[in-house]
Structure 1
Amino acid sequence: MKKETWNFGIIGLGGIGDYHMNHLSKIPYTRVGAICDVNEKAVEQVGNRLNLPAEKRYTAFKAIIDDPEIDVILSGVSNKFHYEILKYALACGKPVFSEKPFTRTLEEADELASMYEKNPIPCMIGFSYRYRPCFQYVKQLVAQGALGRIRHFAAHYLQEENAPMFNKEYTWRFNKEMAGSGILADIGSHMVDAARFFVGEFVQVSGMMSTFIDRRRDLRTGELVAVDVDDFTGFQCVLEGGVMGTFYTHKNAIGTKNQFEVTLFGDLGTARISVERPNEVHLTVREGEKMELTEKVIHLDEKEMKPMLQDFVDYLEQAHSTLLPTLHDGYRNQQVLQAIIDSAKDGITRSL
């Protein structure tokens, strides 16, 4: 349905919350109608900045979801709370945007999927890279058959921030109870989504996981705390259509910032993209009778691409989208993450 203004309730006022509010301010017919965070000081600061009345400043997520004047929830909180917020929004029938990963565990994901089948509501999971110009262009190439039959999908996602020289402190991301898994849930989930976005569903997966640094210092106590999640994950897979896949991710890669790179190898050509160069597609093909090698760099105009939150608002108004990651996409992603974890634990290839 169309509305004059969509009133968003923002849950989580950290960096990701600011990121989404900044982008939301550029989307017509939307406004931040209420905010919520367990940190009362953050609620006060952001509430003052947005000039929100006191009754629209919440510290309990159920209260903001219950607010009848809030049309849709945008949630950017720690992994542990994704399940609880999605569950309550589904129970209340309130549309929701939730950050990835979908949940911490497959058990949580199964329950949400069952609830959604009984009471489907507009729900988007924050796999934001689908909205990079290079991703959208390559999606079109694959759909048009420009690369021929895809034989191999390769992806890596590297950062450097967790390397020993930086003495990264212990945070919730290093705690299984809070995060579910480590690097896999954090940025590896984007690789899984990219494979599904470009190629299709996972058929089989074989994973390996490791923890490079098993203790980190908690700055609140000064104590070293055990890390019980992965900070390296690698996996191979078979995707639908017999496409082979290879993946690795960690944050121990000195010299990288946000190096998420994807390569699709097809019978007619190869496409390479990088999140660090979102407006470029590197295309390699053989053309003509002599099959001469041609390398091209396609330069894209991001202004022609639909932003993620605009697509979400259009979705709320029942517009069709081929890009939007729904609750189903979040659920399928969680199934793959769990298969990788299980395979890494016992060394057995998992079928999906």
Structure 2
Amino acid sequence: MTNKTWNVGIIGLGAIGASHMNHLAKITNTKVAAICDVNANAVEQVGDRLNLPPEKRYSDFQAIIADSEIDFIISGVSNKFHFDILKLAIEYGKPIFSEKPFTRTMEEADELVSLYEKNPIPCMIGFSYRYRPCFQYVKQLVTNGTLGRIRHIAAHYLQEENAPMFNKEYTWRFNKAMAGSGILADIGSHMVDAARFFVGEFTQVSGMMSTFTDRRMDKRTGEYAQVDVDDFTGFQCVLEGGVMGSFYTHKNAIGTRNQFDVTLFGDLGTVRISVERPNEVHLTLRAGENLQLTETVIHLDEKSVKPMLQDFVDYLEQRKSTSVPTIMDGYRNQQVLQAIIDSSEDGVTRSLSF
């Protein structure tokens, strides 16, 4: 299989789809062989740029998934369609990369996993931060016991784009029927994955959610539309081994760009990382007879980490893959998101078991 060229089908030609195509261009044994989008102009423009024949330019995602000449799918569409696309991929036995969150609801997630267990397919869910150099390095620190027993993980994920001064217009992300939840599904799901990646499964969770701006202008109608999802989510939790966790996320943080920071506190030391500085790790340790304090900034080579889509191709080729977030990672993540939502609604801490 190592000599195979993988024919890739892209569903969704927006910014996410363009990013994935740029990454695919760096993988020598892949090529974009078909595209799909409801926007006919986007299909025409991208199809022309890629010199794709008319029969490989789709407007129906079922058709591109059913195309026997397409080896795997990359899906970058709104949350509403994650379930339908993943379901079809399972039914057709088609390997797929799908963006997070896994689904909008637990009902959708449960149905997908039931189908998957009967007909498993290679699947990667887009928890891309696992593939940052700092994440990979910290994973090794934890695995090697450098920090000692982990006692607490803390994270926040902040952006500013939804603050009132920017007059962010109403989009599908502010609609529960389309998105499932707001900031929690959008970027909070990355915090949940980071906790699972570094520590393990959630066992208890207590959440609080709020909507800062409850109406936004819908440019399609020229009227204000009701926002029925969260602008803020915070949650505390217990993870495997009694590790405590504290997390918050919102896009009302003036002066931030993409501030996703994670800190792990262990018996021997503390480590801090920030996605805005993906090649840095701040490590603080105490050791020796006098428990001497050492503070080190470790600078990493980004080339040392395998890119996410390369890891997926290696996974398909049954080569060594490093951190593939599988369909079950998507499912476990969705279970935690639902527990946070449920807890925020009634104030009751939720227990999770796996």
Question: When the two structures are superposed, what TM-score results if normalisation uses the length of structure 2?
Answer: 0.99
Q: What's the counterpart of residue 34 of structure 1?
A: 34
Unaligned runs of 5+ in 2: none
Cα deviation for residue 219 of structure 1 reads 1.1
Query: Where do residues 229-244 of structure 1 align in structure 2 (5 Å cutoff)?
Result: 229-244=229-244
Query: Where do residues 242-261 of structure 1 align in structure 2 (5 Å cutoff)?
Result: 242-261=242-261
- Number of residue-to-residue matches in the alignment: 352
8 Å CA contact 2:311, 2:322 repeated in 1: no
* Structure 1 residues 36 and 175, CA gap change in structure 2 (3 angstroms): same
Cα deviation digits, residues 246-282 of structure 1 (max 9, x gap): 0000000000000000000000000000000000000
Instruction: Tell me how large the CA RMSD over aligned residues is.
Output: 0.7
Letter in 2 for 1:78: S
Q: What's the counterpart of residue 174 of structure 1?
A: 174
Q: What's the counterpart of residue 217 of structure 2?
A: 217
Cα deviation for residue 165 of structure 1 reads 0.3
SS at match of 1:184: helix
Q: What's the counterpart of residue 324 of structure 1?
A: 324
Q: What's the counterpart of residue 45 of structure 1?
A: 45
Q: Distance in 2 between matches of 1:32 and 1:124?
A: 18
Cα deviation digits, residues 290-310 of structure 1 (max 9, x gap): 111111000000111100000
Q: What's the counterpart of residue 22 of structure 1?
A: 22
Cα deviation for residue 152 of structure 1 reads 0.1
* Structure 1 residues 120 and 2, CA gap change in structure 2 (3 angstroms): farther
Write out the 4+ residue segments of structure 1 that deviate beyond 2 Å after TM superposition: 319-322
Q: Distance in 1 between matches of 2:154 and 2:187?
A: 15
SS at match of 1:64: helix
SS at match of 1:277: coil
Query: Where do residues 153-172 of structure 1 align in structure 2 (5 Å cutoff)?
Result: 153-172=153-172
SS at match of 2:278: strand
Q: What's the counterpart of residue 186 of structure 1?
A: 186
Cα deviation for residue 321 of structure 1 reads 2.7
SS at match of 2:225: strand
Cα deviation for residue 320 of structure 1 reads 3.6
Q: What's the counterpart of residue 312 of structure 1?
A: 312
Cα deviation for residue 28 of structure 1 reads 1.7
Q: Distance in 2 between matches of 1:196 and 1:2?
A: 32
Q: Distance in 1 between matches of 2:321 and 2:181?
A: 30
SS at match of 1:23: helix
Q: What's the counterpart of residue 70 of structure 2?
A: 70
Cα deviation for residue 181 of structure 1 reads 0.2
Q: Distance in 1 between matches of 2:307 and 2:88?
A: 27
* Structure 1 residues 282 and 155, CA gap change in structure 2 (3 angstroms): same
Letter in 1 for 2:211: T
Q: What's the counterpart of residue 270 of structure 2?
A: 270
Query: Where do residues 54-133 of structure 1 align in structure 2 (5 Å cutoff)?
Result: 54-133=54-133
SS at match of 2:255: coil
Cα deviation digits, residues 118-154 of structure 1 (max 9, x gap): 1111000000000000000000000000000000000
Q: Distance in 1 between matches of 2:59 and 2:3?
A: 27
Letter in 1 for 2:111: E
Percent sequence identity is 81
SS at match of 1:278: coil
SS at match of 1:35: strand
Question: When the two structures are superposed, what TM-score results if normalisation uses the length of structure 1?
Answer: 0.99
